[in-house]
Amino acid sequence: MPIAPLHLGEFTSVSAGFAPKDTSLNGDCAVLQLADFTTDGSLQSDAPRVRVPLNGVPSHHLLQAGDVLLAAKGARLLAACVEPHWLPAAAATTLLVLRPDPAVCQPEFLAIWLNQPATRLALQSRMSATSVATLNKRDLLDLPMPGHLPSLEGQRRLVELNHLRLEEKRLALRLTMMREAEFNLLFAAQLSL
C-alpha cells in the first residue's frame, strides 16, 4: 500500500517577509532580498544592501538561524538557509520565511530540496500567472514531498554531501580561473619574444 505524500505544511510554518518604512543604509538590521544571494543560496560578499534600525523591525519578522528563505516573487526561484552570522536580519517581502520543525526536518535539507530542479518546477507550476509570478503561502504549504522524508541522520548526510559538492564546485572554478591566468601569461610572453 503506497504511503500518502507528506506535505510541506505538515512540518513547516510559513510567514511573509517585511516591508521596512525606513531603508537607510546605516541601520543595524539587514533586510535580506533575493538580489543579496548567489544562485547556490549563499549570501553575496557585498550583501546585504539594505539595513534598517533594529527597533523598527517587529519581533515576529526577525529571522532565526535555521529559517529558510524562499523567493516568492519573480522568475528566479531560490531557497537559502539563514546562517547565524547573517543576524540580526529580516526578510524582504519578495521572500517567504519557512521554519521547519527541527524534530522532523533539518533546515539545510529543506533548502536543498527546494532548490532541486524537480521541486523548482513544481513551485513554478503553483505560481500565479500575473505580470510578476507570485507563489502564495497556501500553495506552498500544500506542496507534496515525493517519496518520503529521509531520517534526520539521512538528511544530515545529504546536507554534508551538498557542502562537499559546493566546495568542489568552488575549487573547480578557482582552478579554471588559475589556468586561464596561466595561459594568458604564457600567451603574452610568446608575443613579446
Band of the pLDDT at 156, cuts 50, 70, 90? very high
Looking at the fold, whether 129 and 163 belong to one and the same domain comes out as no
Looking at the fold, whether 42 and 53 belong to one and the same domain comes out as yes
Q: Residue 189: what pLDDT?
A: 82
Residue 63 confidence (pLDDT) above 90:
yes
What is the residue range of 191's domain?
Answer: 152-193
Give the pLDDT confidence of 9-46 residue by residue, as tens digits.
Answer: 889 899 988 888 766 657 888 899 888 888 777 888 77
Looking at the fold, whether 96 and 137 belong to one and the same domain comes out as yes
Band of the pLDDT at 96, cuts 50, 70, 90? very high
What gap in Å lies between CA 49 and CA 128, rounded to an integer?
28
Enter the pTM of the model.
0.81
In a domain, 191, yes or no: yes
Looking at the fold, whether 33 and 123 belong to one and the same domain comes out as yes
Looking at the fold, whether 119 and 175 belong to one and the same domain comes out as no
